[in-house]
Structure 1
Amino acid sequence: MSGRSILKRIDWLTVFIYLSLVIIGWSNIYSSTFTETQDALFDFGTLHGKQLFFIGVSLVAILVIMALEVNFYERFSSVLYLISMVSLLGLFVFGKTIAGATSWYSLGFMNFQPSELAKIATALALAKYLSDIQTDIKRRKDQLYALLIILIPALLIIPQPDPGSALVFFALVFVIFREGLPLFYLGIGFFAILIFVTTLMFGTIWVTIGLALLLVLLFALKRKSFKVPIFPLAIVVIFTILFSLSVNFVFNNVFEQRHRDRFSLWLRLEKDPAKLEQIRRTIGYNTYQSEKAIESGGFWGKGFLEGTRTKGDFVPEQHTDYIFSTVGEEWGFLGTATVVILFTILLLRLISLAERQKNDFARMYGYGVISILLIHYFINIGMVIGVLPTIGIPLPFFSYGGSGLLFFTILLFIFLKLDTNRLKESF
């Protein structure tokens, strides 16, 4: 495909939104790291300068992606997946520890996080497997293999420990649902999460009482000629109680203290006001200051480089995971609404592009991209405004991080390259 043909067929709306997010993100990184002694806008020794450098690298990567043959990504998806799994294993020997997680390789001029590469590789490998079996994935064997593709990188990342990155991989399950996995499994997942949270909040005894009452109610309905399968339900109740009994063990022995503190703060598990306040001032400090920064911006915001909380370094790591709070303080509700609208339009547009693909691999990979971007967007903004616990997930195209920006760009533009080869014109 010629360069002129690619320029004609690429989805320019998506490109425009991508560039808008990158530019807005960089301006807020500049603002959140600005000091009065800064002179040069293009000083590559500063954080905003380094991010600008990687914006340039990402633009070069886009040109490379567009120059490669469209079937390259499907043909080498398995090889890329294998390489990314080896790179994750290598962290246990050669990894660099940052912020308590051994998730990085130090390359001298930059730190490389292989989980970012693994996200792209896993999305490609999953799309390749699902397109190869050419079925609605009704067979248990197919379901198991597809889930293993997702589970392997997640299990390699959890011990680093980096539960936030591991959680992103589980979002790819939605690709399998799009391709025909029964919603029954999704219901099991949500039910397990509900039991987990309910057990933490109220304890296994109250969960057991609630389930017993439900079983009695259903038995009473059965006596009135309602068709309720009591025996299978009783088995489900028994397994649910066993799962509930395991929750406290997992919470106290598998989770690290910082993770337990975040759940305690989020669910208000700690009953001692003094200890809860201590947790709020330590683990919950970032979120508390982030909420205050956004609140202080009001409707219009304080203006570019005028954020007092941003200038005063009230929010730790504000240029990375908490960059959205800079938008809230300096650009107010109008700024945060603009960012939310841009991300929403981007995701809706990608859904439209995925649905118009005639090639199964392209469609499935498109939904992989959507799943990864959606969970990053949803969790990052949720934790910044305090409705979700802090788990360290950046905002795509926005948060500071050279490797993150580069791999999010590659993730997106591989799909845009696949889209240029579509056989079905629509929209």
Structure 2
Amino acid sequence: LSLIIILFFVLKKASFKAPIASIVLVFVASILFSLSVNFVFNNVFEQRHRDRFSLWLRLEKDPNKLEEIRKTIGYNTYQSEKAIESGGFFGKGFLEGTRTKGDFVPEQHSDYIFTTVGEEWGFVGTTTVVILFTLLLLRLVYIAERQKNDFSRMYAYGVISILLVHYFINVGMVIGILPTIGIPLPFFSYGGSSLLGFTALLFICLKLDANRLNEWG
């Protein structure tokens, strides 16, 4: 794939400003990465890591065995998917989720908090959360672009990156499109340190934005 992309730019004489050495480096790195995937998967990862990737990539071809694996190795994600599915369009109501109230979903107060939103508030609630996060990120992009110095702009984009990664991975693992890892959903997951950290990031970003007109005195 890397070779195809490089050849495309070279043959089309596109404005690809990177030097030849950088192109070769990227190509070699891509080849080495591709060759190392199988070795790392079989020799570096522990069995629990391999099981999670096998479940995520659906490497098991037998549907019955795959379902059994989902209920054991992928128990958290399996219960999460079932809870969100049971929420339907409007959800079951505040504190009325049977699977979340019955503690079927582990860590539903922290890593799997989005499951509670899905079961209690349904498609409407989860869509609202997604829209709110998207608007927050777009607003931060607007703030980043109007900064007058590089530091403020890079800091704002750093905050955007942190929030986006946490948001995307958390929601992705809860609905089963990403492997399960312990990462909180910003401003939703239980934990004072998480809330304090994300709040401080936003506060500093807003403070830099408020002082942008007086940066040079």
- Tell me, in whole angstroms, the C-alpha distance in 1 between the residues paired with 2:40 and 2:195: 34
Structure 1: which 5+ residue stretches go unaligned? 1-190, 193-210, 219-225
With over 3 angstroms needed to count, the CA separation of the structure-2 counterparts of 1:277 and 1:354, relative to structure 1, is same
Counterpart of 1:356, as a letter, is R
- Counterpart of 2:42 in structure 1 is 252
- Counterpart of 1:365 in structure 2 is 155
- Tell me, in whole angstroms, the C-alpha distance in 2 between the residues paired with 1:419 and 1:241: 43
Query: How far is 1:267 from its partner?
Result: 0.7
- Counterpart of 1:346 in structure 2 is 136
Instruction: Judge which range, 266-275 or 293-302, deviates more.
Output: 266-275
With over 3 angstroms needed to count, the CA separation of the structure-2 counterparts of 1:251 and 1:403, relative to structure 1, is same
Query: How far is 1:348 from its partner?
Result: 0.4
- Tell me, in whole angstroms, the C-alpha distance in 1 between the residues paired with 2:28 and 2:113: 45
- Counterpart of 2:55 in structure 1 is 265
- SS in structure 1 at match of 2:213: coil
1:415 partnered with 2:205: yes
1:83-232 matches, cutoff 5 A = 227=11
RMSD: 2.9
Counterpart of 2:179, as a letter, is P
Q: Number of aligned pairs?
A: 203
1:300 partnered with 2:93: no
- SS in structure 2 at match of 1:423: helix
With over 3 angstroms needed to count, the CA separation of the structure-2 counterparts of 1:242 and 1:419, relative to structure 1, is closer
With over 3 angstroms needed to count, the CA separation of the structure-2 counterparts of 1:249 and 1:420, relative to structure 1, is same
1:286 partnered with 2:67: no
- Counterpart of 1:184 in structure 2 is none
- SS in structure 1 at match of 2:77: helix
- Counterpart of 2:177 in structure 1 is 387
Deviations 1:320-365 (A, max 9, x none): 1110110111111111111111111100001011111112211110
- Tell me, in whole angstroms, the C-alpha distance in 1 between the residues paired with 2:144 and 2:27: 40
Which of 166, 190, 193 aligns to 1:400? It is 190
Counterpart of 1:313, as a letter, is D
Query: How far is 1:272 from its partner?
Result: 5.6
- Counterpart of 2:100 in structure 1 is 310
Query: How far is 1:393 from its partner?
Result: 1.3
- Tell me, in whole angstroms, the C-alpha distance in 2 between the residues paired with 1:317 and 1:355: 37
With over 3 angstroms needed to count, the CA separation of the structure-2 counterparts of 1:384 and 1:356, relative to structure 1, is same
With over 3 angstroms needed to count, the CA separation of the structure-2 counterparts of 1:358 and 1:242, relative to structure 1, is closer
Deviations 1:252-298 (A, max 9, x none): 22222222111100111234666544431223111111111111111
Which ranges of 4 or more aligned residues in structure 1 deviate by more than 2 Å? 232-245, 270-279
- SS in structure 1 at match of 2:166: helix
1:321 partnered with 2:129: no
- Counterpart of 2:168 in structure 1 is 378
TM value normalised by structure 1: 0.43
Counterpart of 1:377, as a letter, is Y
- Tell me, in whole angstroms, the C-alpha distance in 1 between the residues paired with 2:210 and 2:28: 52
- Tell me, in whole angstroms, the C-alpha distance in 2 between the residues paired with 1:239 and 1:422: 40
- SS in structure 1 at match of 2:212: coil
Percent of pairs with identical residues: 82
Structure 2: which 5+ residue stretches go unaligned? 13-20
- Tell me, in whole angstroms, the C-alpha distance in 2 between the residues paired with 1:328 and 1:400: 17
- Tell me, in whole angstroms, the C-alpha distance in 1 between the residues paired with 2:141 and 2:77: 31
- Counterpart of 2:15 in structure 1 is none
Query: How far is 1:235 from its partner?
Result: 9.9
With over 3 angstroms needed to count, the CA separation of the structure-2 counterparts of 1:302 and 1:363, relative to structure 1, is same
- SS in structure 2 at match of 1:391: coil
- Tell me, in whole angstroms, the C-alpha distance in 1 between the residues paired with 2:153 and 2:35: 41
- Counterpart of 2:17 in structure 1 is none
- Tell me, in whole angstroms, the C-alpha distance in 2 between the residues paired with 1:423 and 1:309: 52
Counterpart of 2:59, as a letter, is L
Does 1 or 2 have the higher relative contact order (CA < 8 Å, sep 6+)? 1
- SS in structure 2 at match of 1:269: coil
With over 3 angstroms needed to count, the CA separation of the structure-2 counterparts of 1:269 and 1:407, relative to structure 1, is same
Counterpart of 2:128, as a letter, is T
- Tell me, in whole angstroms, the C-alpha distance in 2 between the residues paired with 1:312 and 1:267: 29
